[in-house]
Amino acid sequence: MTTEQRYWDDVGDEEMGGTTDTTESHLAKIQSGGVFDRFDMRVLEIGCGMGRLIVPLADQYPGAWFIGFDPSFSLLGRFDHLPRNVGRTATLPGERFDYIYSMLVFQHIDSDEKRKYIDYAFDHLNPGGRFRFQFVEGDEPDAPHHHQCYLGDVYDWCKRFPIWESSSDPDHPEWVWVDAQVDS
């Protein structure tokens, strides 16, 4: 078991969740830019936890196929319900996707893990596929399990993507969103 798995298994033993307002706000951020433009999309969430985002998305888009990846077996076992169009895994799948997203994960993992997930996304997107992820820029030394992340590093890690842009989150100024896309 990796250090990352141990950490997230411990987190999974604590109460996790969010308010309905928070979840709705986060879902809107994941769906921004019209990414769900096809009925039959294949979608991966990196760091799905207990399914707080992936389950409502799957319910909203029943023709799409969703896979939730999380290194924590404990969190994967805590889904409230599992729609028919959702799979779960503790290992990154080898298949390709139309859309990959990650939210509230990158600030909790070290730089090597961040880069691994960005490289994975580039290698596993279908032509024209998109990767959207959020991180907290800078460092919060007093925050437990918070790992610094700077836009300059993300720029270096995203160089393989022919198209990518970053933007600040209007609700959380310290959050940065990155949208990356591979060629069609």
CA geometry: angle 23, 54, 182, nearest 5 deg: 110
Whole-number pLDDT of residue 4: 53
Q: Are 110 and 82 in contact (CB under 8 A)?
A: no
pLDDT for res 146: 63
Return the closest-CA partner of residue 76 out of 146, 9, 121, 140.
Answer: 9
pLDDT tops 80 at residue 155: yes
Q: Name the least confident of 22-26, 61-65, 71-75, 130-134.
A: 22-26
Tell me the residue ranges of DSSP E strands in 8-52: 42-46
Nearest Cα neighbor of 74 from 48, 109, 106, 101 is: 48
- Domain locations in the chain as residue ranges: 3-11+20-181
| pTM confidence score | 0.86
Q: What CA–CA distance (Å, rounded) separates 54 from 95?
A: 18
Q: Among the CATH numbers 3.30.540.10, 3.40.50.300, 3.90.1150.10, 3.40.50.150, which is that of 3-11+20-181?
A: 3.40.50.150
